[in-house]
Chains A and B, each alone.
Chain A
Amino acid sequence: MTSSVIRVDDLSASYQKNKVLNDVSFEVKEGTITAIVGPNGAGKSTLIKTMLGLHPKLTGNVRFWGSPFKTAKKKIGYVPQRGSVDWDFPTDALDVVTMGLYGKIGWFRLPSKKDKEKAMNALKKMGMEAYAHRQISQLSGGQQQRVFLARALAQDAELYFMDEPLAGVDASTEKAIMTILKELKSNGKTVLVVHHDLQTVPEYFDHVLFLNKTVYAHGQTEEVFTTDNIARTYGGDMQWVGKGDQYVIQSSSH
């Protein structure tokens, strides 16, 4: 019997005049790894940001382990989109990963040797120990993504939100990230991932949430990951073509 980690009720949010989330409700069980999929502008990132209090909500309620974000935030890790920060900032990979420990280190205190070791271990897990003292502006996109993942690992949270961690990374980085996600899952952690590549959904995720301003379908991948749900979420002008094991999405409007 697994318990519910996240419970979202009737969540709505907007950007200026545009309502981007409308009555979103769902529950996430502990130890699952969920893909949030939907077309561009479906509100995937906004959903995460609103749940984490980074974007104001219009209505609705979000609970983590039955309590509001404020009391639960120490147990929540967030991996933002790679483009959300300025990689020209003068710091190195190890330093960024150490930032994941700031909440535990406490204010106005400098990271100890032990903290640095913890950060180094997180980097090692992502196969990045050789780049620990590399300037972050000199890392490739995939390496930057690994650094972000390592920072979240260093946080040692129970629940992770990741915003497109696999966007624009090469095959080896994708593999490294997915290995870590599976490891998190086997350690009983819960992971929500904004994902854009439908082809890899059945392989990587045990749950799927179809989002296009509101929830179109949500459940175990083998049950809800159907052509029907995809077509409904992505709109009528999308064609869903299955080629054996391979899936190809075609859109007529571009």
Chain B
Amino acid sequence: MLSNLLHINTLWVMASTMILGIAAGGIGCLAYWKRQNLMSDALSHAALPGVVVAFLIIQEKNLLLLVIGAALSALLGAFFIQWFSNASRITEDTAMGMTLSVFYGVGVMLLAIANRSPGGNQSGLNNFIYGQAAAMVRSDVITMIALASIVILIIFLAFKEWKLFLFDANFAKGVGMSIRGMNVLYTIVLVTTIVIGIQAVGVILMAAMLIIPAVSARYWTHSFKMMILLSSAIGGLAGAFGTWVSSTGSGLPTGPFIVLTSSAVFILSLLFGKEKGIIINFIQFKMQQRASQKKHPLAAEKGGSQ
């Protein structure tokens, strides 16, 4: 009876990390072609102080409210990055590096304060660093699934618009698209995905959920649509599988297992991927070499130089 209950709970949590993985895989593709992989890392770290501040204010662990706090502080981080790189001579990657470490540092400091406050160390706030999907309750799961579904819907409904925006923003503007609007939407979708994921995966590893599925998918396809679908599939698979593995032992963090799963997929893709995977590249090169040696046997004997 008890094991059955546990089982159902695990299934719910697995479903939520799977849908989170799907959303993260999809938005990860957008981030990949926006060349903003580091941005997602900076924003997930920047979410930490918001979580703790929200907890200190409401004094209870309500995921939706913590997520709103996280989103506000991640958006503040995004604003700082934009502002620093536009208004000063600091380049964007420097601004991201600074924002990441400063926000994370503040977050960890506030966390120490929150943990000392009454009831603080039972709050499970520490889970936001490495991620603990098993700690999620039913309402957390529902919040996560609802928000992730909205993200997925936005990615797929505006698929054609994302493609044009990412490929050629100037041209997109010419055919009447608002580039500022798309940038705002992109940031909102990215931040939403990050903040709903940090409880399950943790602020440190959240970026990996966005980056790794997208680069893995890149090794298999030459179509943007396929890349998004594949990346979402890899993300969903890694989310569910990582959660399942971490739930087999007690207190194992979820984030690292999800990341290890998607990393395994990445290594397979890097080796066997049909688009410029290492092994395919090597085989194609060897076949071409053999073919040209057959055509010019003399030249090949002389070392092939003309």
Contacts and interface: CB of A to CB of B under 8 A. Distances in A.
B223 interface: yes
Q: What DSSP secondary structure best describes chain A's contact surface?
A: mixed
Interface stretch (A3-11, A74-82, A116-124, A194-202): A74-82
Nearest to A76: B174
Interface residues of B, number: 25
Given A102-B160, A103-B176, A86 B167 contact: yes
Given A99-B168, A108-B161, A110-B160, A90 B173 contact: no
B298 interface: no
Interface in A94-141: 95-96, 99-100, 102-103, 105, 107-111, 135
A54 B163 contact: no
Contact of B167 (A49, A89, A109): A89
Interface residues of A, number: 32
B168 A90 contact: no
A84 interface: yes
B174 A99 contact: no
User: Which of B171, B177, B224 has its CB near the most chain A CB atoms (within 10 A)?
Assistant: B171
Contact of B170 (A78, A105, A109): A78
A91 B221 CA distance: 10
Contacts, number: 73
Given A91-B163, A102-B160, A108-B161, A52 B224 contact: no
A107 B224 contact: no
Contact of B174 (A73, A84, A91, A108): A73
Interface of B is mostly: helix
B57 interface: no
B206 interface: no
A102 B164 contact: yes
Nearest to A78: B174
A144 interface: no
Contacts of B221: 90
Contact of A90 (B172, B174, B175, B222): B222
A108 B226 CA distance: 18
A178 to B, nearest CB: 22
Interface in B122-161: 157-158, 160-161
Given A78-B170, A90-B223, A90-B226, 5 more contacts: A78-B171, A80-B171, A85-B168, A99-B167, A99-B171
Interface of A: 49, 52-54, 73-74, 76-78, 80, 84-86, 89-92, 95-96, 99-100, 102-103, 105, 107-111, 135, 151, 155
6 contacts: A85-B167, A90-B222, A99-B171, A108-B160, A109-B160, A111-B160
